[in-house]
Amino acid sequence: MPVRVIKAADLVAADPTPGMDRSRAFEVATLWAGQVETMPGVSSGWHHHDLNETSLYVVSGVLRFEFEGYEGYLDAEAGEFVHVPAFTVHRESNPSDQPSLAIIARSGGGVPTVNVDDPQESKGT
């Protein structure tokens, strides 16, 4: 069947990173789609998405992004999109008092999530 609908109840837990609850809707050769929920006050582990370009749409709440090579952070709020380039080492957190929910699409066909050590620790800071 060329068109299909994935029901919310059919999402499956996927690509674990400490602090984040990702669910996969589907994965085909070069496209991964799903969602991520991040609880208030939680920070994820550091990770990247291999060859995949990643797009997130924040449905509710706030997602804070920290990434290698940038001092500080960027916040994305409900109604905003985020682009995370391939191989970008980053982590997300939720600085608010409400859960955040974002829809994810990854394109490229690489490993969906690669967990890594904190880049600050590897620099001795």
pLDDT of residue 121: 77
pLDDT of residue 124: 58
Inter-CA distances, 101 with 8, 52, 85, 123, Å: 13, 20, 20, 32
Structural domains of the chain ordered from first start: 8-111 (2.60.120.10)
Q: What's the rounded Cα separation, in Å, for the pair 118 and 105?
A: 24
The answer to pTM > 0.95 is no
- For residue 113, the 8-state DSSP code is -
pLDDT of residue 123: 62
Query: C-alpha dihedral over 103, 22, 83, 80, to 10 degrees?
Result: 40
pLDDT of residue 120: 79
pLDDT tens digits, the chain, 125 residues: what are they?
A: 799 999 999 999 998 888 889 999 999 999 999 999 999 999 999 999 999 999 999 999 999 999 999 999 999 999 999 999 999 999 999 999 999 999 999 999 888 899 999 887 766 55
